[in-house]
Structure 1
Amino acid sequence: MNTEIRNLEPKVLWNNFADLNAVPRASKKEERVIQFMVDFGEKLGLDTQVDKVGNVIIKKPATKGMENRKTIIMQSHLDMVHQKNNDTNFDFDTQGIEMIIDGNWVKAKGTTLGADNGLGVAAIMSVLESNSIVHPAIEALFTIDEET
């Protein structure tokens, strides 16, 4: 992984995106990314569930003083379009995305980047792990099989 990616600001977002992109997550083959998200939620000590379809729900309690506010729901899908250049040797079932910086752009080396909707997942992960954002209760829904 290009360490330049992990040094982009905001670091928490780009590190979460890099961690997510290290996990193979093609549509219909989301088992590993589901487990990745379960591990993420449990590591934070948050209520983490997987529904019968495979969607992951992570709940974060409200911060002090926000308990009576309405719960907010954040949603993003875990799977990604898996396309590669004709001259690229890449196995989406076993390999993570190789991210690179090209000028002012973050790209993938020879494949799709997975920013749809990986950056959404990474942003929600960043909110869930933050201890500095005042918020009502949060329910994060990470859905599967959106790209097919």
Structure 2
Amino acid sequence: MKNDLSGMEPQILWGYFNEIRKIPRCSKHEERAAEYVVAVARRLWLDCKMDDAGNVVVKKAATPGKENVPAVLLQSHLDMVCEKNKDVSHDFARDPIEVVVEGGYVSARGTTLGADNGIGVATALAIMEDLDAVHGPLEFL
């Protein structure tokens, strides 16, 4: 059993999930998670916008020769259900989620993991960063 996500494959996906699990993001309090997605998109020089409600849309241009392929939209949500066991001291407004990796499975120590839909956000971020994939226009919501 280990308490971190290092060495998990694909590394880019788990690296992003590792960052997301550290960001408090209970329902109605996803601001920091939205800001993180915007920061990653800007670092990657992607077109990105956030509205007043905190919804983020990122656009990634098609690879050369795929500009006329229909666009694909990948959607995920930033918030998580914040629940903990009665005997666990955890402040969801401040504390990162403590992960446990055992037998090839990832879980959290006494709290919800936030994989719904943190892993979807991590997947979107990994696809945003992938320079090798051949694709039409991509949008991430």
Q: TM-score range by the shorter chain?
A: over 0.9
1:15-34 residue pairs with structure 2 within 5 A? 15-34=15-34
AA partner of residue 2 (structure 1): N
Tell me how far apart the structure 1 counterparts of residues 82 and 13 of structure 2 sit (CA, whole Å).
Answer: 22
Match of 1:97 in 2: 97
Tell me how far apart the structure 2 counterparts of residues 2 and 44 of structure 1 sit (CA, whole Å).
Answer: 29
The runs of 5 or more residues in structure 1 that have no matched partner are 142-148
TM-score normalised to structure 1 length: 0.90
Residue 96 of structure 1 deviates from its aligned partner by 1.4
Residue 55 of structure 1 deviates from its aligned partner by 0.6
Residue 111 of structure 1 deviates from its aligned partner by 0.6
- How many residue pairs end up in the alignment? 140
Match of 2:12 in 1: 12
Tell me how far apart the structure 1 counterparts of residues 46 and 57 of structure 2 sit (CA, whole Å).
Answer: 10
1:2 has 2:3 as partner: yes
Query: Could you list the runs of 4 or more consecutive aligned residues of structure 1 that deviate by over 2 angstroms after TM superposition?
Result: none
TM-score normalised to structure 2 length: 0.95
Match of 1:69 in 2: 69
Residue 6 of structure 1 deviates from its aligned partner by 2.3
The runs of 5 or more residues in structure 2 that have no matched partner are none
Tell me how far apart the structure 2 counterparts of residues 6 and 71 of structure 1 sit (CA, whole Å).
Answer: 33
What is the aligned-residue identity percentage? Answer: 44
Residue 130 of structure 1 deviates from its aligned partner by 0.2
Match of 1:41 in 2: 41
Tell me how far apart the structure 1 counterparts of residues 11 and 106 of structure 2 sit (CA, whole Å).
Answer: 14
Tell me how far apart the structure 1 counterparts of residues 139 and 6 of structure 2 sit (CA, whole Å).
Answer: 27
SS at 1:136 equivalent: coil
Residue 25 of structure 1 deviates from its aligned partner by 0.6
Tell me how far apart the structure 1 counterparts of residues 103 and 56 of structure 2 sit (CA, whole Å).
Answer: 35
